[in-house]
A and B are shown apart, each in its own frame.
Chain A
Amino acid sequence: MGLFRNLKAAPVEKRMSAELEKKIEAGKKNPFGFAPYNPDAAEKTGYSNYSYWGSTFRVFFKNKLAVTLLIVLVLLMAFTFIQPVLPKQHKANLIINHPITGMQVSNVPPALTTVKAKAPKGTELIVKEYGDEQWIAVGNVLSDVKAREIFTVIEYGKDYCKVDYNGMTGYVKNDFTTQLKLPADPYKVPYESRSGFKTKLYTSPVDFSNDGDDLFVEKKYLSISGDTAVTTEECELRILPDDAPFLFGTNNLGQDLWALVWSGTRTSLFIGFVVALIEAIIGIVVGVLWGYVRKLDRLLTEIYNVVNNIPTTIVLILIAYILRPGVGTLIFAMSLTGWVGMARFIRNQIIIIRDRDYNLASRCLGTGTLRIIYRNLLPYLVSVITLRMSLAVPGAIGNEVFITYIGLGLPVSTPSLGNLINIGRKLISTSHSYQLVFPTIVLSIITISFYIIGNAFADAADPKNHL
């Protein structure tokens, strides 16, 4: 293609340059004639199609990490709103009772399905008292074996041993937790053995129970005779008859952590956005007045000195202590001091650009003050404002976590990330630590994304980086 163009272009260029030379010669004779068209000179007009926002976004989209996080954040925020209308969702504060046993389904570990195990055809199961028309509770625990009780091993397996215990034949786990006492050659059966810890006698070498609790199976797959049942075909054993799983598990009260986390994310993001918005509005108004109206400078500077002197945390604690805990209180307490930084920054910027020549000219031409502020000054501040707003959101979320820890946060009936983390905090070294991990992950994604996107955007909005 390139070669082709060159072949064709050469004569044209030659012709052009010949024409040009002729005209230049003519121009030397007659300086007042028309100047010839010169494509090189046309390039030198200094015209550029530079646009501030275009360049800002171009630089921003070069930052792969920030763009990725932006996509993640947008999807996550969209999901918090979509989640309640998705099918098979639990209400956030609903305490879920088991539809058959009526007990709270507390501390269910996180899982992708409610199916705990699959029983092949011909599995012997023990039928429990709970059930309805369709479902029945089953287990395969024959008996509890106390620690250090003697039983006879009749068949040695790596994971399970077939044993004879009090006249019952079943299987016990053979792993490091049970600490079975075995002879030198465990395959030479039978021999007497005992377990170092409490264990259970199962009907089969697979544990068909939910850590000792019952599982549920549809009756049509079973042939029941008295206390025992045999599966007629392969069937699923579920924790709940319902097939809506607890993706993040449930908490101590039997509430769905998945629903709580998303509801909490909504609350926390709401607080974050409202605080950022209030901060921006008050900060801009005060900052503009402070910078633009000379008479107010003294007064506002003094007010700033007072407000800036008090640690933000202390104001937060004091206000939350005096007012009743709630979303409104938190927003009020955080907005009370948050605007100060924004106002000062805007004031400094406005003082720098207020008396520049173009503003002076604008004023001389009779432009109204409001129009000068709105058209001439504020566009300079957009990047700073968006940066501060994007950093205010994670700040507010962090403050909420802190205030909740002190005991002045939202009531437990209003789930928020702070609440969930504060409850999960006490479970960190237990097997229920997932109740801390999930809120933490969501919170970290949100705060880190806001932080990185905010900084990347501020860098992109700085014209120095637009080359």
Chain B
Amino acid sequence: MTKYVLKRLLSAILTLVIVLTVVFVLVRQMPIEGYFDNYDKLDENIIQAKLDKMGLNDPMPVQLLHFFKNLLKGDLGTSARYSVDAPITGIIAQKAPVSALLGIISMILAMALGLPLGAAMARSKSKFWDKFGTAFIVFVNAVPAAVYYIYLQSYGAKALGVPMLFNRSEWQTWILPIFSMALGNIAYYAMWLRRYMVDELNKDYVKLARAKGVENKKITMRHVFRNAFVPMVQYIPTSLMYTICGSIYIESLYSVPGMGGLLVDVINRQDNPMVQAIVMIYSCIGIIGLLLGDLLMTAIDPRITFAKKEGAR
């Protein structure tokens, strides 16, 4: 077990290094305008001097080494256009808590709605809840989120009588962004829980329990739901990742002062160091999410073993 965890951790770190290197090299291919606030007005000499100062004229391996050294110190560089010469870590430290808070609340909401929906669907096969849930899942999965978010924002704001844009001090404005973020995950949880529960319901121990005369409700809640939930655990960190990715769109739509909105902002302003930093952070979150999913899974499900079957595959 310890060996597996260590190995998994090591491979995650290796992946992280590879991904950061690739992102770094790719962003270096961008035009150098993205490092200056007022590129058009600058003299060629000043540009070169500034590039030298930032170390952008060094050979790539030197730059890369420099970057990783700074990264270990917790320094992501400074913003070029978004907020000139401000340290990126500072900007992100301001924005990240908002994103995290919204993401976590929406995750809780998604579980609170998605899991009961999935369970209801599994219990009422081809009755109302199953049909309703299936229609909901098909809609959410098939129609691009970018489209129904727009309608949700406009009509939701009208129906609830709340402002369209997010405002930290007004709790009413939190409803729509959180609900929009949760929608995808509600469908995701409902879909998988239903699938696992239906699988589980067909197993022998359920038949035995039924033959013994155990109440239907007790079977589904105490036995089936528990067993079906175990494989779901793996999805939780992944769906946290999904929430964050979805939030790029939602945060910018509701102008939430978070990381996702920031990414759209800096892309539109072509601020190279900021884009690089945020893309790297998102990749890290993705890698950590998968890692946590795997580790959680191994911690929770005792049926998973780590004895490697040499040559058996």
Using a CB–CB cutoff of 8 Å, the interface residues on chain A facing chain B are 302, 305-306, 308-311, 313-314, 317-318, 321-322, 351, 394, 397-399, 401-402, 405-408, 418, 421, 425, 428-429, 436, 440, 443-444, 447-448, 450-452
Contact = CB atoms under 8 A, between A and B. Distances in A.
Nearest to B288: A309
A436 B144 contact: no
Nearest to B285: A311
B142 A452 contact: yes
B142 A448 contact: yes
A299 to B, nearest CB: 14
Contact of B287 (A309, A443, A450): A309
B245 A311 contact: yes
A447 B143 CA distance: 6
Interface stretch (B55-63, B147-155, B173-181, B218-226): B147-155
Contacts of A407: 264, 267-268
Interface in B235-251: 241, 244-245, 248-249
Interface residues of B, number: 42
Given A306-B18, A406-B252, A428-B150, 6 more contacts: A308-B290, A311-B283, A421-B146, A425-B150, A444-B147, A448-B139
A321 B267 contact: yes
Given A317-B279, A402-B144, A322 B30 contact: yes
Q: Which of A311, A429, A436 has the most CB of B within 10 A?
A: A311
Nearest to B144: A398
Given A398-B145, A436-B150, A322 B138 contact: no
A427 B12 CA distance: 45
Contacts of A314: 245, 279, 282-283, 286
Interface in B170-219: none
A428 B19 contact: no
Contacts of A308: 290
A351 B313 contact: yes
Nearest to A308: B290
Nearest to A306: B15
A421 B11 contact: no
Given A407-B267, A407-B268, A421 B147 contact: yes
A454 to B, nearest CB: 9
Given A314-B279, A405-B249, A406-B248, A309 B143 contact: no
Contact of A310 (B139, B267, B283): B283
Contacts, number: 110
A419 B143 CA distance: 16
Nearest to B272: A321
State the majority secondary structure of interface residues on A.
Answer: helix
B267 A447 contact: no
State the majority secondary structure of interface residues on B.
Answer: helix
Interface of B: 11-12, 15, 18-19, 23, 26-27, 29-30, 138-139, 141-147, 150-151, 154, 158, 241, 244-245, 248-249, 252, 263-264, 267-268, 275, 279, 282-283, 285-287, 290, 313
Nearest to A403: B146
Contacts of B154: 428-429
B283 A401 contact: no
A448 B135 CA distance: 11
B301 to A, nearest CB: 20
Contact of B147 (A311, A321, A440): A440
Contacts of A317: 248, 263, 267, 279
A302 B18 CA distance: 12
13 contacts: A305-B15, A309-B283, A310-B283, A317-B267, A318-B275, A322-B29, A322-B30, A402-B145, A405-B249, A406-B248, A418-B146, A443-B144, A451-B138
B146 A405 contact: yes
Contacts of A436: 150
A306 B267 contact: no
B147 to A, nearest CB: 6
A444 B147 CA distance: 9
Q: Which of A399, A401, A443 has the most CB of B within 10 A?
A: A401
B140 to A, nearest CB: 10
Given A321-B275, A451-B141, A452-B138, A311 B241 contact: yes
Contacts of A321: 30, 267, 275
A219 B15 CA distance: 76
Given A407-B268, A447-B143, A402 B249 contact: yes
A438 B95 CA distance: 36
A393 to B, nearest CB: 11
B144 A447 contact: yes
A451 B23 contact: no
Q: Which of A302, A313, A444 has the most CB of B within 10 A?
A: A313
Q: Which of B11, B144, B151, B267 has the most CB of A within 10 A?
A: B144
A406 B267 contact: yes
A398 to B, nearest CB: 3
A311 B246 CA distance: 11
Given A321-B275, A450-B142, A309 B290 contact: yes
A191 B158 CA distance: 41
A432 to B, nearest CB: 13
A317 B29 CA distance: 15
Nearest to B142: A451
Nearest to A402: B146
Contacts of B11: 302, 305
A453 B66 CA distance: 52
